[in-house]
Amino acid sequence: MNEQARRRPGKSYRRPKKDPVRILAFEALRAVDERAAYANLVLPPLLKKAREAGDFDTRDAALATELVYGTLRRQGTYDAIISACIDRPLRQVDPPVLDVLALGAHQLLGTRIPTHAAVSASVELARVVLGDGRAKFVNAVLRKISRDDLDTWVERVAPPYDEDAEDHLAVVHSHPRWVVSALWDALGGGRGGIEDLLEADNERPEVTLVARPGRISADDLLDTLGEESGLPGRWSPYAVRLTEGGEPGAIDAVREGRAGVQDEGSQLVALALANAPLDGTDERWLDGCAGPGGKAALLAALAAERGAHLLAAEKQPHRARLVERALAGNPGPYQVITADGTRPPWRPGVFDRVLVDVPCTGLGALRRRPEARWRRRPEDLEGFAPLQRSLLREALKAVRVGGVVGYATCSPHLAETRTVVDDVLKGRGGPAAEAEWVDARPLMPGVSALGDGPDVQLWPHVHGTDAMYLALLRRTA
Ligand SMILES: C[S@@+](CC[C@H](N)C(=O)[O-])C[C@H]1O[C@@H](n2cnc3c(N)ncnc32)[C@H](O)[C@@H]1O
């Protein structure tokens, strides 16, 4: 029997309408879910293919990007709402069906797409990618969701703040509970601060460029962009913020390596290390965890201005190649090597300045990696702990007496920041390092709200940067 004959009389079969934007968004979500892909890596090739096939214009690409990023960021909230609309546990719903529902929930609750368009587009998507039977289920759930707005839903599904503050914040601001807890421990303070931080993680970050010193000035970079497209950085003299987002790769200075994409917090970390006061020589610098090379490129440019040499070391060969690319054209001397910083090939005590921007959970860069908060597990901290301590210990051996080490993470988790430094200084789990704290705060001039020191923790909701951490230590013996 053919498809037409099987249907009830009077109900003629209509082919589902194919909507390339939503199909692409669904494919990206499936790749993130099924293949543990990163949204920021999966999306560009899909968009490129769609543009080449003539399916997409710039607005379509912007909508697809917003749908994917927004759905992933708000997944925790949407899951709680979807769960309240179905009569079985969420884990019993097939993941592709959940992706269509979450995409639909985001259109209904997180965008200005009119309700009827959000529901019908999601049901059509379900018909194309899931089939007619499951499209009915999608229709029923989304109709329920569409009856109320986001605030009403959140009030209904989140536990009251006074009963369980962390669970409340986790549902309202779409973060795993353990991440809420860890961020709050690191931030301290009351409800206002943590809410602002969690919301900042849900905002799309500005794209910031670094004008690499000696190669292009921030003013010249701003001139090439024009007043409407660029603004000076808030804190770093080398930063330029792209006001329209745009395609950094289309900017000549970026293509030629005279500028790069770099969060302002990362720039501040590299600058603080480079400007830490030093007695004696200032000729040999080391970046012990250099890949993909953002901080190394800024350090190499700063080193070049002072006649110093940068050695950039990276364990992963493919990431060392990215460092090579980031440093190509640097006006001063540098060398990139593939090396394990815990078993270093360099002689001890020979460097004047050393940076170790260690592998970490990345909980400070959740704005950029919308799926990361769902993928990370508390156990990951235990995995990084010995490596972080070992890299810091080796950095303190690599620097000469009187030289300075910068220990940095793009995580504010206390287990990856202050605790690591304290353990190494106090000799927990190894010999105590002969080193003293250097106050990092004066080395970030003009930057407000840097706390009690001597280390520095930057915050997205306070500084507009990733939550970078920096401890500066001087070797004393
Ligand atoms: C947080 S990233 C560094 C980011 C870099 N500083 C930047 O600004 O582009 C940490 C890097 O350390 C590398 N790494 C991990 N273990 C290492 C080791 N034992 N020795 C050297 N590098 C290591 C990782 O491959 C990763 O590229």
Instruction: Tell how far the Cα of 198 is from the centroid of ligand 1, in angstroms.
Output: 26
pLDDT of residue 101: 98
Q: Does ligand 1 lie within 6 Å of residue 316's CB atom?
A: yes
What are the strands, taking DSSP E only, across 148-274? 207-211, 230-232, 239-242, 259-261
Domain boundaries, given as residue ranges, for the chain: 3-145, 207-261, 264-475
Q: Does ligand 1 lie within 6 Å of residue 314's CB atom?
A: yes
Catalytic member of 182, 410, 424, 450: 410
For 428, the 3-state DSSP assignment is coil
Question: For residue range 268-303, what is the model confidence (pLDDT) as tens digits?
Answer: 999 999 999 999 999 999 999 999 999 999 999 999
CA–CA gap between residue 214 and residue 333 (Å, rounded): 13
In Å, what is the CA distance from 122 to each residue of 30, 115, 179, 409? 15, 11, 31, 40
Closest ligand 1 atom to 343 CA:
19
Q: Does ligand 1 lie within 6 Å of residue 204's CB atom?
A: no
Taking a C-beta distance cutoff of 8 angstroms, is the pair 138, 97 a contact? Answer: yes
Q: Report the candidate in 323, 324, 332, 389 with the shortest Cα–Cα distance to residue 356.
A: 389
- Kindly tell me the burial class for residue 19, based on how many C-beta atoms sit within 10 Å of its own C-beta (0-12, 13-18, 19 or more): middle
Q: Report the candidate in 384, 315, 310 with the shortest Cα–Cα distance to residue 344.
A: 315
Task: Classify 3-145 by CATH class.
Answer: mainly alpha
Q: Which helix (H) or strand (E) holds 299?
A: helix 294-305
Question: For residue range 45-59, what is the model confidence (pLDDT) as tens digits?
Answer: 999 999 999 878 889
Taking a C-beta distance cutoff of 8 angstroms, is the pair 367, 200 a contact? Answer: yes
Check the annotation: does 357 bind a ligand.
yes
Fold exhibited by the domain 264-475: Rossmann fold (3.40.50)
pLDDT of residue 11: 61
Which residue, by CA, sits nearest to atom 17 of ligand 1? 315
Instruction: Tell how far the Cα of 181 is from the centroid of ligand 1, in angstroms.
Output: 26
Question: For residue range 207-221, what is the model confidence (pLDDT) as tens digits?
Answer: 999 999 999 999 999
CA–CA gap between residue 474 and residue 448 (Å, rounded): 24
Q: Mean pLDDT across the chain, nearest whole number?
A: 95
Question: For residue range 67-112, what is the model confidence (pLDDT) as tens digits?
Answer: 999 999 999 999 999 999 999 999 999 999 999 999 999 999 999 9
Instruction: Tell how far the Cα of 358 is from the centroid of ligand 1, in angstroms.
Output: 6
pLDDT of residue 13: 74
Which residue, by CA, sits nearest to atom 11 of ligand 1? 289
- For residue 466, pLDDT over 90 is answered with yes
Instruction: Tell how far the Cα of 218 is from the centroid of ligand 1, in angstroms.
Output: 27
Residue 360 annotated among the catalytic residues of the structure: no
Task: Tell me which CATH homologous superfamily contains domain 207-261.
Answer: Sun protein; domain 3 (3.30.70.1170)
Question: For residue range 381-391, what is the model confidence (pLDDT) as tens digits?
Answer: 999 999 999 99
